[in-house]
């Protein structure tokens, strides 16, 4: 169980020496309790206290870096069950399965798909993060050959080496030295051998309960015993698979794992979860993937990565991993809606993403091509931004002038949201030669408003 | 260390709501656990998906979702019969969008006639929705509620600006009622309280906390639904215990991702699969957040969501 600030305070030297950068030991203890500072900042704390604190202050879900370099993925560190309590920390990774039974050409083309999967959405670059190479052939030579293709063509993509046979795992992992791969497939039969390989090659170890292979399985109980055993063999970086494959099992196991880690500080399950979502029907696979995104998976393995499916899953991950305390923002600029002409209307609103989506959606519904000036108001909605002094006449006038829209349109009329009708005179004063028109208060009035003007 | 599953016990329960008459009724809600957490409680009813139809031809729907209804959607009665007899759906949601002043501005008498015609052609439960124009919805939904008297329909949506007349009509004609507010837990609770203060039985209410599509504010609906459901179960807040509606189709099928052609945006892949995935993923995620009743459009999207629900219960 995590310690409270006062409990931590009792373990500190209580000298108020300020060497940690905080005014008092108590203030430092409070920061430690909130996980906003590290005990290493205190030079005088005893080793005993450090160990106690280290154990208690370790994040409930162990942080793990998967892969190396620019494409490395951070996992774990989660602190909540519900995103409205606090932001979900590390977005889950999507991995494409590549079976070693495929031909060299097929393996290469799947790698290409992964490499070309990157798209941009609302200012973020999103992609399929990893490859899961599967020893489907149960043949060591074949697995090694497939791994060579992956190592050559996707050298910077994080790799999950899926093999239950330690010989196959070792043959493949040799090709990814210093790349922080995951070796998936440690179970109660091969735990020692797999742990040794993971240790030798500094890989993260993927641990699986026997039910993952269709056995009767001990599920989470067996998994806990296994991770403890593997930890005692010197492996710290672990990802876990309870064996859940059906939608209902994924929700149950992932929920119990996250709860045990966060509410009970149960260390044997305090690791990132890997979910195998592969299905014959790609739309169903998208939905199983969506369950993984919402319900606590850190890695989701897919059998196919069609562009439409990627777009939907990337968007969902982006949605659910945004910070609920920080409004989502869109870029400040003049957006074209439909194919506007120099005489098309120009409307202005703020850059809160929801405001933008609703306003642009209603303009689209009106079927009147328009320009929409979206002004940076730190992600506040119109009324809030106005009240906070971020959507003022002076700022609006400056934005319009600097946006260059005067070169795009031939008229000089700006439609402002009805909620800030009060600004119309002041904007007109500051924007010489412009006419300010007050639009509807609510976005759903936009279609009628624009259509009546066009008529 | 032995593992003891950290199960929760909940003190509240979501109301079960039954709609329709005779042997074709459907029931949703009734659980005393978070969505699909049957490992720690009871969820007696599976979520229900109603197919959306409307009183005027769906010319504003994207082509890919008009296609499955080609030849039947010109007339609400044919359309409803197609849903019932061919698609074998469990419930239908009739949206009286033609009554909107910006659309065809059809009268409340027209709306009542459509409702009567549709009801006489089907025996499965019907959800009757206005055009979401708060002023016009009042007379339209009153007329619709009368036309559907004693068929145990759902009438909606009552909003803060118009709930009084709509609540009275739902009450007088024995219907269930959707109370909608805009993405705010407290507004949603307040509206439910106002409605029950009029004497409306709170066990006949359905909450619509306002839907949003994947990529367009879905996270807001998701968190509002989660918070409402947690209040219902963990705090036993009776004003938060109606089942929740996800009015998926109308939000999903107007976003760019369900419309733009692959020619324009090759990196988004084919529009048909993209549209179905968009609707199905939005639906799935809101089921996880707590929705028990969904209104959807594309038969293929409904089909895959139903298959996964089958796996979840």
The domain limits of chain B are 20-312
Domain covering B20-312 in this structure, CATH number? 3.20.20.20
Per-chain mean pLDDT for chain B:
96
Q: Is B60 exposed, middle or buried (CB count within 10 Å of its CB: 0-12, 13-18, 19+)?
A: middle
3-state helix, strand, coil in chain A (%, to 5): 45, 15, 40
pLDDT at A214: 47
Structurally, chain A folds into a number of domains equal to 3
A287 in B contact zone (CB under 8 Å):
yes
The residues pairing with A94 across neighbouring beta strands, listed in sequence order, are A300
Considering A14, A39, A57, which residue would you say is the last residue of a domain? A57
Reported as a single tens digit per residue, the pLDDT across A411-429 is: 999 999 999 999 999 999 9
Whether residue B65 is predicted with pLDDT greater than 70 in this model: the reply is: yes
Q: Which two tokens stand for residue B184?
A: 């705010």
Residues A289 and A153 grouped into a single domain: yes
Confidence at residue B81, expressed as pLDDT on a 0 to 100 scale: 98
A328 lies in some domain: no
Instruction: Give the A window 416-455 contacts with B, CB below 8 Å.
Output: 444, 447-448, 451
Clarify whether residues A13 and A50 are in a common domain.
yes
* Mean per-residue pLDDT, A177-202: 96
The pLDDT assigned to A57 comes to 67
pLDDT band at residue B303 using 50, 70 and 90 as cut-offs: very high
Tens digit of pLDDT for each residue in B85-139? 999 999 999 999 999 998 999 999 999 999 999 999 999 999 999 999 999 999 9
Task: Write out pLDDT tens, residues B194-205.
Answer: 999 999 999 999
Tell me, what's the pLDDT at A2?
A: 62
Partner-chain contact B3 A224, CB within 8 Å: yes
Residues A316 and A346 in one domain: no
For A151-186, what is the HEC assignment?
Answer: HHHCCCCCEEEECCCHHHHHHHHHHHCCCCCEEEEE
Question: What mean pLDDT comes out for the span B213-237?
Answer: 96
Give the residue from chain B lying closest to A319, CA to CA: B219
- The confidence score (pLDDT) of residue A34 equals 75
Query: Once rounded to an integer, what is the mean pLDDT over residues A356-364?
Result: 88
Q: What is the pLDDT of residues A34-77, one digit of tens each?
A: 777 888 888 888 888 888 777 766 789 999 999 999 999 999 99
Give A327→chain B minimum CA distance, Å. Answer: 10
Strands A124-126, A119-121: pairing kind:
antiparallel
Least confident piece of the model among A52-56, B108-112, B168-172, B288-292: A52-56
Residues A245 and A381 in one domain: no
Q: Do A153 and A196 lie in a common domain?
A: yes
- CATH number for the domain including A132? 3.20.20.20
Q: Are residues A194 and A342 in the same domain?
A: no
Residue A231 has pLDDT above 90, yes or no: yes
Give the chain B residue nearest A258 (alpha carbons): B6
Rounded to a whole number, what is the distance in Å from the CA of A325 to chain B's nearest CA?
A: 11
ipTM, interface predicted TM-score of the complex: 0.97
A414-422, long-range: CB < 8 A, 24+ apart? A414/A346, A414/A347, A414/A348, A414/A373, A415/A345, A415/A346, A415/A347, A415/A348, A415/A439, A416/A347, A416/A348, A417/A348, A417/A349, A417/A382, A417/A441, A418/A442, A418/A445, A419/A382, A419/A383, A419/A386, A420/A382, A420/A383, A420/A386, A420/A391
CB contact under 8 A, B36 and A83: no
Reported as a single tens digit per residue, the pLDDT across B11-63 is 999 999 999 999 999 999 999 999 999 999 999 999 999 999 999 999 989 99
Cα dihedral sign for A388, A328, A91, A180? negative
Same domain for A23 and A147, yes or no, is: no
User: What is the average per-residue pLDDT within A356-367?
Assistant: 87
User: From the CA atom positions of chain B, what is the Rg in Å?
Assistant: 19
A320-335 pLDDT tens trace: 999 888 777 888 999 9
Q: What is the average pLDDT across A338-349?
A: 94
Which CATH number goes with the domain that contains A421?
3.40.50.11600
The whole-chain average pLDDT of chain A stands at 92
Write the CATH number for A38. 1.10.15.40
The answer to whether A220 contacts B230, with C-beta atoms less than 8 Å apart, is: no
**Given pLDDT bands bounded at 50, 70 and 90, which one contains residue A211?**
low
- B281: chain A residues, CB-CB within 8 Å: 286-287, 290, 312-313, 316
Does one domain contain both A349 and A218?
A: no
The answer as to whether A316 is a domain residue is yes
One domain, residues A121 and A234: yes
Q: How confident is the model at residue A215 (pLDDT cuts 50, 70, 90)?
A: very low
Say how far apart CA A285 and CA A185 lie, in whole Å: 22
Does residue A326 form part of some domain?
Answer: no
| Per-residue pLDDT, A217 | 46
The string of pLDDT tens digits covering residues A160-173 is 999 999 999 999 99
Q: What is the pLDDT of residue A364?
A: 85
Q: Domain span at residue A40?
A: 5-57
Note the pLDDT of residue A36. 76
Name the residue facing A284 among B215, B304, B312 (closest C-beta): B304
Share of chain A above pLDDT 70, in %: 97
**A66-92 burial string, b = 16+ CB within 10 Å, else e?**
bbeeebebbbbbbbebebbeebbbbbb
Q: What is the mean pLDDT of residues A288-315?
A: 98
Is the same domain home to A140 and A288?
yes
Note the pLDDT of residue A212.
54
CB contact under 8 A, B1 and A320: no
Any domain includes A371: yes
């Amino acid at each position: 169980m995590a310690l409270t600030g006062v409990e931590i305070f009792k373990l500190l030297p209580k000298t108020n020496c300020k060497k940690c950068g905080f005014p008092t030991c108590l203030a430092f203890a409070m920061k430690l309790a909130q996980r906003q500072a590290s005990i290493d900042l205190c030079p005088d704390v005893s080793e005993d206290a450090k160990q106690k604190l280290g154990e208690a202050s370790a994040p409930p879900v162990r942080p793990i870096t998967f892969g190396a370099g620019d494409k490395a993925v951070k996992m774990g560190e989660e602190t909540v069950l519900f995103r409205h309590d606090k932001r979900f920390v590390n977005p889950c990774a999507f991995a494409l399965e590549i079976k070693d039974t495929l031909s060299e050409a097929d393996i290469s083309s799947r790698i290409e798909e992964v490499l070309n999967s990157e798209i941009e959405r609302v200012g973020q670059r999103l992609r399929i993060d990893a490859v899961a190479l599967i020893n489907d052939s149960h043949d060591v030579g074949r697995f090694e050959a497939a791994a060579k293709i992956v190592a050559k063509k996707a050298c910077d993509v994080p790799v999950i080496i899926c093999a239950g046979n330690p010989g196959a795992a070792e043959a493949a992992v040799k090709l990814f030295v210093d790349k922080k791969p995951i070796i998936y497939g440690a179970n109660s039969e091969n735990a020692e051998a797999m742990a040794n390989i993971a240790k030798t090659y500094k890989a993260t170890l993927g641990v699986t309960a026997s039910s993952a292979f269709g056995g009767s399985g001990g599920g989470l109980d067996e998994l806990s015993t296994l991770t403890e055993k593997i930890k005692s063999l010197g492996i710290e970086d672990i990802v876990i698979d309870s064996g859940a494959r059906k939608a209902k099992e994924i929700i149950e196991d992932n929920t119990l794992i996250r709860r045990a880690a966060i509410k009970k500080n149960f260390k044997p399950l305090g690791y990132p979860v890997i979910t195998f979502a592969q299905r014959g029907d790609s739309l169903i696979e998208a939905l199983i993937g969506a369950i993984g995104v919402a319900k606590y998976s850190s890695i989701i393995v897919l059998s196919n990565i069609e562009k439409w499916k990627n777009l939907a899953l990337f968007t969902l991950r982006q949605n659910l991993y945004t910070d609920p305390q920080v409004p989502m923002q869109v870029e400040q600029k003049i957006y074209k809606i439909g194919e506007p002409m120099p005489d098309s209307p120009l409307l202005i609103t703020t850059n809160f993403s929801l405001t933008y989506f609703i306003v642009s959606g209603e303009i689209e519904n009106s079927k009147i091509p328009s320009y929409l000036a979206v002004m940076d108001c730190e992600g506040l909605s119109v009324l809030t931004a106005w009240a906070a002094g971020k959507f003022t006449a002076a700022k609006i006038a400056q934005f319009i002038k600097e946006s260059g829209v005067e070169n795009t349109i031939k008229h000089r009329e700006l439609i402002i949201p009805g909620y800030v009708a009060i600004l119309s005179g002041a904007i007109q004063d500051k924007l010489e030669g412009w006419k300010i028109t007050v639009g509807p208060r609510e976005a759903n009035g936009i279609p009628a408003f624009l259509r009546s003007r066009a008529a | 260390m032995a593992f003891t599953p950290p199960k929760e016990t909940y003190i509240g329960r979501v109301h079960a709501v039954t709609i329709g008459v005779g042997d074709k009724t459907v029931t949703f809600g009734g659980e005393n656990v978070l969505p699909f957490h049957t490992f720690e409680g009871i969820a007696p009813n599976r979520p229900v998906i109603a197919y959306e139809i409307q009183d005027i031809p769906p010319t504003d729907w994207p082509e890919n979702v008009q296609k499955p209804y080609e030849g039947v959607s010109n007339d609400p009665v044919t359309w409803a019969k197609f849903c019932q007899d061919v698609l074998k759906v469990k419930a239908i949601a009739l949206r009286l969008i033609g009554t909107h002043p910006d659309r065809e501005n059809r009268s409340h008498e027209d709306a009542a006639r459509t409702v009567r015609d549709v009801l006489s052609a089907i025996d499965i439960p019907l959800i009757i929705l206005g055009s979401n124009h708060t002023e016009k919805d009042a007379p339209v939904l009153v007329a619709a509620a009368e036309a559907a008297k004693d068929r145990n329909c759902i009438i909606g949506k009552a909003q803060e600006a118009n709930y009084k007349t709509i609540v009275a009509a739902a009450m007088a004609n024995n219907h269930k009622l959707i109370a909608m507010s805009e993405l705010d837990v407290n507004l949603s609770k307040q509206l439910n309280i106002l409605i029950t203060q009029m004497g409306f039985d709170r066990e006949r209410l359905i909450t619509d906390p306002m839907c949003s599509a994947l990529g367009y504010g879905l996270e807001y609906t998701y968190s509002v639904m989660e918070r409402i459901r947690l209040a219902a179960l963990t705090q036993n807040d009776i004003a938060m215990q109606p089942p929740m509606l996800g009015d998926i189709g109308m939000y999903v099928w107007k976003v760019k991702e369900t419309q733009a052609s692959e020619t324009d945006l090759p990196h988004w892949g084919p529009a048909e699969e993209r549209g179905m995935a968009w609707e199905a993923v939005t639906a799935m995620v809101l089921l996880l957040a707590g929705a028990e009743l969904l209104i959807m459009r594309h038969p293929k999207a409904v089909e895959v969501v139903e298959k996964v629900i089958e796996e979840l219960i």
